[in-house]
Amino acid sequence: MTEEQEQTPAFRSYDGMFRYAGPTGHEGCCYLQVFERRGALPVIVACETKDNPGASVTNAGASIATQAWRQLLSHANGLGHMTLDAGGKPSSGIQTRRNAGTAPQS
């Protein structure tokens, strides 16, 4: 990434509730934010909600990331790709942080 790209501010391209199919096939719901910056991979932040009917964000992290990428970031396909190892942990420079925060209260 160039110095100019590093100084370009990220913008929030998605901010709201997100429904996903969990690893067991049951639908879940989380609060999701997507931040993008030109020339960089997007950052996806998923937060648990109190009324989530499906798998927790922790247990469905790989499913959420994949579905968010496909549904919200199809335009970013040329930027790179996300690879998950057998344990569902990201590789290829993608990072996650568990329990990074909670969804805002409405």
Query: Domain for residue 41, yes or no?
Result: yes
Query: Domain for residue 33, yes or no?
Result: yes
Domain count within the chain: 1
Domain ranges, residue 68:
3-83
Convert the pLDDT of each residue in 20-56 to its tens digit. Answer: 999 888 999 999 999 998 888 899 999 999 999 999 9
Query: Domain for residue 38, yes or no?
Result: yes
Query: Domain for residue 99, yes or no?
Result: no
Measured at the CA of 36, the angle between CA 24 and CA 87, to 5 degrees, comes to 30
The answer to whether 60 and 28 have CB atoms below 8 angstroms apart is yes
Convert the pLDDT of each residue in 55-82 to its tens digit. Answer: 999 999 999 999 999 999 877 654 444 5
User: Distance (Å, rounded) from C-alpha 48 to C-alpha 28?
Assistant: 10
Reference 43, options 33, 51, 52; nearest CA is: 33
User: Distance (Å, rounded) from C-alpha 3 to C-alpha 84?
Assistant: 29
Query: Domain for residue 8, yes or no?
Result: yes
